[in-house]
Amino acid sequence: MSAPTSELSRLTIGSMAMGGPASSTDRRLLQGESGIVYDVTGFSAGSLQQATLGIQGGFEITVCRAPSHSPSGTYYAFQLRDGNRRIAVRFGSPNPLNNGCNACTNFPLNNGLACKHVFWLVDQLMQDQPTNSSFPIIPLSQDGSVQQKTSPLSLLSSRCLDSLAIKRNWMFEREIVRKDEVREMLSALELEKGRPQDYRVDVYSKILDTPMDADDIFELGDLEAIVFRLAVQDQVFFERLRSVITPDRCASTYFEEMGAQAKRSLEDLDEYIQEGPSRGSEITDVKSCGTVLQDVVSNIGKNLETRAPHGRSEAAEALVEILGAVCDWNRDAYADLDWERKAPGAEKDEDRNLYRRLIGKTVRHSTRTNPDASRDHFVLDILAALPKQDVAPFAANLDAILDKVVDHTAPRGYILKFENLVDGLTSDNEGGASSSRLKKRSGGGNGGNQRKRVK
């Protein structure tokens, strides 16, 4: 091998390398954003342009995902920001539509040649690779492979991606089963929305983790089923669909549906009280409505964690609406019925009063999904865990609801938690708005609705 100084004497970097064909003695080299020098001798003009734009580019990784397993194999997925565009890049599991292992939504049909985003990611991955030369010049191939045909997939397979993400400060997401992700995406398009797990169970249950051919995907008269199967099977189609039905849109839809589900349960409770049980219909009484609301709040909390950072504003709105609605049910729901109701034996006060059941009494409530869940601070624990900017738009609503909670009476700990939440939301406002709330809560000022801060 030539000495480093002789290599440098023939070094051409970046746009200088694009001036013309390399001679038999020259090597065409590019220095990456990382400082690594790559040998791109023999690149076509198009590949050289992509390599130059990529290796010397300044993109940003917004999220990377753990190895995922599709019917066509294992792959790693990255989402990049290129100016105002979001680009999805996948390494692994060859796809017939792009004839190669490195797929990018910006260049889905590139005959196995890497685009600028693939080259940039390769340079990012190479920064953590050990080198054996005092002056490393890394051979690079037009498909994105590096020295001795080491593919980007091999670079990723040789280390733990979550550790690399922590080291490089990349957002990392755990593995999501492809058919679950597609089901969630398509359920977000339903006009009559339901839970993702209820969407096309007939199709979902029959999709196996094995490759499907055209006959497996096609179903006459059921375009929805075809799209479902094709998105599971085909990476390029999936990435295009994901670029339209984004994680943020799915999360927003989910939390809006959770809020709607709570509202429907409250409407069913009101209908039951007004008209009595309907023949053949499931009864929604205070107890069953309370269980539904507990489940909804529990599911919102769990999905805020798994979907973070998406949909937080919609989740906060749903939680505030649920809390406000429950505060309007501080009464004996069965006191003035126009129909005869036979009360079950040993019926407790909280079985007749939704507010008391969920807020007004310190108890441990079980839910269908979490039998040991504590609901001492119904809704408040989840709201308090959200970033302030997502809850702040509802500060006035929460302040009004807090007035009701104090008037209705609630456990001391619940009121303290509520006051701390509202004070935290208003502490960054101008002094007038915050101090007026504190003054009202301390019992000062003029007017009727005054509440004293709990000590």
Residues 6+ apart with CB under 8 A from 156: 67, 76, 91, 92, 125
Amino acid, single-letter form, for residue 28: R
pLDDT at res. 157? 57
Would you say 50 and 113 are in contact if contact means Cβ atoms under 8 Å apart? yes
Pairwise CA distance, residues 284 & 267, whole Å: 9
How far is it, in rounded angstroms, from Cα 281 to Cα 272? 10
The three-class DSSP label of residue 450 is coil
Please tell me the distance from the alpha carbon of residue 296 to that of residue 427, in angstroms, as a whole number: 30
- Cα separation, 149 vs 160, in Å, equals 21
For the cut 50, the answer to whether the pLDDT of residue 12 exceeds it is: no
Q: How far is CA 190 from CA 194, 196, 250, 274, 381, in A?
A: 8, 10, 11, 31, 31
CB 85 within 8 A of CB 74: no
The rounded distance, in Å, linking the Cα atoms of 343 and 353 is: 14
Q: Mind giving me the DSSP string for 383-411?
A: HHHS-HHHHGGGHHHHHHHHHHHHHH---
pTM: 0.59
Grade residue 175 by pLDDT with cuts at 50, 70 and 90. low
At 432, the pLDDT band (50, 70, 90 cuts) reads very low
- In angstroms, rounded to a whole number, what is the distance separating the alpha carbons of residues 11 and 5? 10
161-172 mean pLDDT: 77
Which region among 58-72, 199-213, 238-252 has the lowest average model confidence (pLDDT)?
Answer: 58-72
- The more confidently predicted of residues 164 and 344 is 344
CA angle 178, 183, 214 (to 5 degrees): 70
Which stretch of DSSP H or E encloses residue 153? helix 152-157
Share of the chain above pLDDT 70, in %: 71
